[in-house]
Homo-oligomer: A and B are copies of this chain.
């Protein structure tokens, strides 16, 4: 069975090559402006071959999309050592922002780019990787905060959404270049400073 295995590996290898090439091109020129022919050129194969490994361009997008969530969850692992839920919540915000600033194009892919319409939620669909897991973790953390006496008088589900939105908003406005309206001398630091203000607010809730 070694031969079949090796063939399987070879196939997997080319699939991986396509993904690596697609990722570098997507992040460099954007999804829309990267053509199948560009990817084929990079891996030195004909364009047609790509359709033997992915149904269409969207499927390539999705494969990378999933990879992004794995990558982010990886970074979140350090939160395990943070016992105090409010500290954990704030640390989560820092990690989230850090990930977004270090991988702006991947973040764009994950949270800003329009999700292709034909995104079918089949049985194999792993909600954890697709971001639901991260939100679930945020929800749990906020619930723990509430149990420790925070967020009195608040409805936790919309509050969770608001907290996520605040951080996402700062990051996405920056990524999509809507920050020119901010005072020029503060544009580079506005996200981290905004996060600081956010922490001050959270501490008082």
Contacts and interface: CB of A to CB of B under 8 A. Distances in A.
**Copies per assembly:** 2
A170 interface: yes
A67 interface: no
A179 B135 CA distance: 10
Nearest to A205: B201
Secondary structure at chain A's binding surface: helix, strand, loop or mixed? helix
Interface string A158-169: 110110111111
Nearest to A138: B181
Contact-residue bracket for chain A: 35 or more
A63 interface: no
B178 A158 contact: no
Contacts of A182: 135, 157, 161
B30 A114 contact: yes
Contact of A200 (B112, B115, B153, B180): B153
Nearest to A187: B161
A113 interface: yes
A177 interface: yes
A111 interface: yes
A16 to B, nearest CB: 28
A56 interface: no
15 contacts: A30-B114, A114-B176, A135-B182, A153-B200, A154-B200, A157-B182, A157-B186, A157-B190, A159-B197, A161-B170, A161-B182, A161-B190, A161-B194, A162-B197, A168-B172
In the A-B complex, the 4 residue pairs with the closest CB atoms: A169-B169, A165-B169, A158-B193, A135-B181
